Amino acid sequence: MSTPILLGIGAAGIALLLLLIIRWQVHAFVAMMLVSLLVALSVGMPIGDIIGTLIAGMGGTLGSVAILVALGAMLGRMIEVSGGAANLAGRFTQILGPTRVPAALTAAALVLAIPVFFDVGFIILVPIVYGFCKAAKVDPVKFGLPVAGIMLAVHVVVPPHPGIVGGSAVLSADVGWVTIIGLLVCLPLGVLSQYVSKWLNRRRYEMLPTTAEQFANFGGEGEPGAAKLHAPGVGVVLTLILVPLALIMIGTTGATLLPKGDALRNVLAFIGSPIFALMVAIGLSFWLIARRLGWSMAHTNQVMESSLPPAATVILVTGAGGVFAKVLTASGIGAALSSSIAAAHLPLILAGFVISLVLRAAQGSATVAILTTCGLLAEAITGGGYSPLQVALLTVAIGFGGLGLSHVNDSGFWIVTRYLGLSVADGLRSWTVLTTVLGLAGFLITCGLWAVLA
């Protein structure tokens, strides 16, 4: 087929995907599987190859994603249930002082967001935010807005979160480099989230009645220092989060500095693989949390298993995104888009960010936006002769496209506005603006790294 026809089929497929998810409220997994099948039929793919292509797309993506997402969910659940998150936020605030409560909560949120999914992590921190806001006699939006902003930034660009892990799998990006770059960019974004939120909070937002009542009746469980005495200390929580990150960075450093075939490089690659690093963290959690708190093995298993039902949906959606990406590649649509971008002389890093941002605004899910964009650009990126560092930078840029323009079709929008007491209009004035500014800033910093490092 000609390039215009292939691009037209690709555009129609994405349009149908958006209609299914947005208008007809079809589950993202079902919608992506159906659209993948229809696109494969439309481009004339041999009917005997279609099912095999779908299976290959699912298996190729889930081979790494399922393990990482499941292990990450288990680790986050252990930290959550044990009360370690509350201790982390309280300790950060104690160190930085009461006058820097927003900065302390934002710093704690940045760390906590690494192993914990955005919506879960934010809900965990809500009682702590409420407690400090009551003590300071301010509305929850004052402290909660920068916390939510940085947590979502980490969610879209730092493994083991599903969108960036799935996108890395589609683009064959080095997860270690993606992790390093994502964290490096998120550090200044944490500071920016503070300043932008302070500017947005110049106006007075009228708190919704239900939230105002909930906030007024909020008791001592969320007050500063009210974390359970037996909960793991901040050192334990930081150990569980930083040890796997350190292992991943060791593996990436070894792959960069040592030649291929070197025995030490192979050892470091094994130690620094994200799967091994998270398994080490899970093992440490048994010792540092379960054993010290006197949990039985049955209770520990129950805590870990409780993290899997929510993770299962995320894994399936991520796998379906891999299926769609595989079909776009096998059908030739990815190659057609690649040639069109080359002809238009549009920088690939800019194209990835813009496409991801548009898809995010259109259908709400950052994960779907990132995976779909990676699928569209996979041919151009994997066939472009880019270095591992450049591929990681492109992947992170696509991730930041999935950060901006969070609005009414995003479940995260409703979680943030509900707990902070914002109306829809005020949510658009504050949360949507904050996510868009952070997404754009993250992309610009990534572009700066591209100019300096790549």
pLDDT digits (tens, 9 = 90+) for 33-54: 999 899 999 988 999 889 998 8
Dihedral (CA of 249, 255, 257, 261) sign = positive
Q: Is the pLDDT of residue 104 over 50?
A: yes
Integer Cα distance of 109 and 193 in angstroms: 12
Which pLDDT band holds residue 183 (cuts at 50, 70, 90)? very high
Average pLDDT, the chain: 83
Contact 447, 349 (CB under 8 A): yes
- Residue at token pair 């949360």: 431
**191 or 117, greater pLDDT:** 191
Closest alpha carbon to 76 in 11, 122, 25: 122
Dihedral (CA of 303, 305, 307, 310) sign = negative
Report cis status (omega within 30 of 0) of the bond before 310. Answer: no
What SS3 state is found at 267? Answer: helix
Reported as half-sphere exposure (CB side, CA atoms, 13 A), residue 241 has a value of 24
* CB neighbour class for 296 (10 Å; exposed up to 12, middle 13-18, buried from 19): exposed
What are the C-alpha distances in Å from 130 to residues 142, 223, 315? 10, 8, 32
Q: Is the pLDDT of residue 264 over 80?
A: yes
What pLDDT sits at residue 222? 40
In which element (H, E) is residue 17 found? Answer: helix 3-18
Structural Rg of the chain based on CA atoms: 22
DSSP conformational letter for 168: H
Contact 152, 367 (CB under 8 A): no
Integer Cα distance of 389 and 422 in angstroms: 40
Whether the model pTM is above 0.85:
no
What pLDDT sits at residue 70? 82
What SS3 state is found at 410? Answer: coil
Integer Cα distance of 21 and 211 in angstroms: 29
Q: Is the pLDDT of residue 124 over 50?
A: yes
Closest alpha carbon to 39 in 329, 315, 319, 316: 329
- Residue at token pair 């960010």: 353
Task: Take residue 256 and report the two structure tokens written for it.
Answer: 């960069």
